[in-house]
Amino acid sequence: MIRKRKKEAEENMKKHEEAKHDLDESPAEIKDNAEATRETTDGRSKEEQLEAQVADLNDRFLRLYSEFDNYRKRTLKEKIEQSKFAAADVITKLLPVLDDFERALKAFDTAGEANQALKDGLILIFNKFLSALNQQGLEQMRTIGENFDTDFHEAITNIPASDPEMKGKILDEIEKGYLLGGKVIRYAKVVVGN
């Protein structure tokens, strides 16, 4: 009788272990079994769901790629612009030296022929200095006879124009204006006719 009860207890233990094993299926197995046997709640099959997911991921990838490409182009453009105007500060500080050269050349015009060799040397240095600045993108503004434009010119004074056609036009230039790569780095100081 004890053996019989012991055998029954062992059989019950085996049954209990088998039932427990059935309950121990992994969550992935349970999920796969459930998805394979039924449709989703929105009425689409698993294939349709996967196709939608692939389309969504593809769309996300294209958007991300496009954003990165735009970022790359923008930073490249900023680097080019920054390198263009990197020398702007130095060139702005050299503009008074350029003005001094021009004043010195005007002074030689009043001195006469005695210092012609010195004047020729100064002209050579001035031209070399000006060409070096021009290679960096420096341009001199055209002023005398042009229409007054506040984007490029600074009016120092207004004087009556001798000719009605000269009203609103620049009659004289006090200080030259310069552009660097198309941007104003120094406004021209001018006299305007009214």
pLDDT at 182: 83
Are 177 and 98 contacting, i.e. CB atoms less than 8 angstroms apart?
no
Domain count for the chain, please give it.
3
Q: Clarify whether residues 117 and 103 are in a common domain.
A: yes
Terminal-to-terminal C-alpha distance of the chain: 132
pLDDT at 15: 67
Tell whether 14 is covered by a domain: no
Domain enclosing residue 69, as ranges: 54-82
Q: Clarify whether residues 132 and 144 are in a common domain.
A: no
* Residue 96, token pair as written in the block: 């008074």
**What pLDDT digit, counting tens, does each position of 61-97 carry?**
999 999 999 999 999 999 888 877 778 888 889 999 9
| Enclosing H/E stretch for 82 | helix 46-84
Q: Clarify whether residues 60 and 96 are in a common domain.
A: no
Residue that terminates a domain, selected from 36, 65, 82: 82
Tell whether 74 is covered by a domain: yes
Residue ranges in the chain whose pLDDT is less than 50: 23, 37-39
**22 backbone φψ class: left, alpha, beta (φ>0; ψ -120 to 50):** alpha
Tell me if the pTM is above 0.75: no
pLDDT at 76: 94
pLDDT at 42: 62
Q: Clarify whether residues 78 and 107 are in a common domain.
A: no
Tell whether 13 is covered by a domain: no
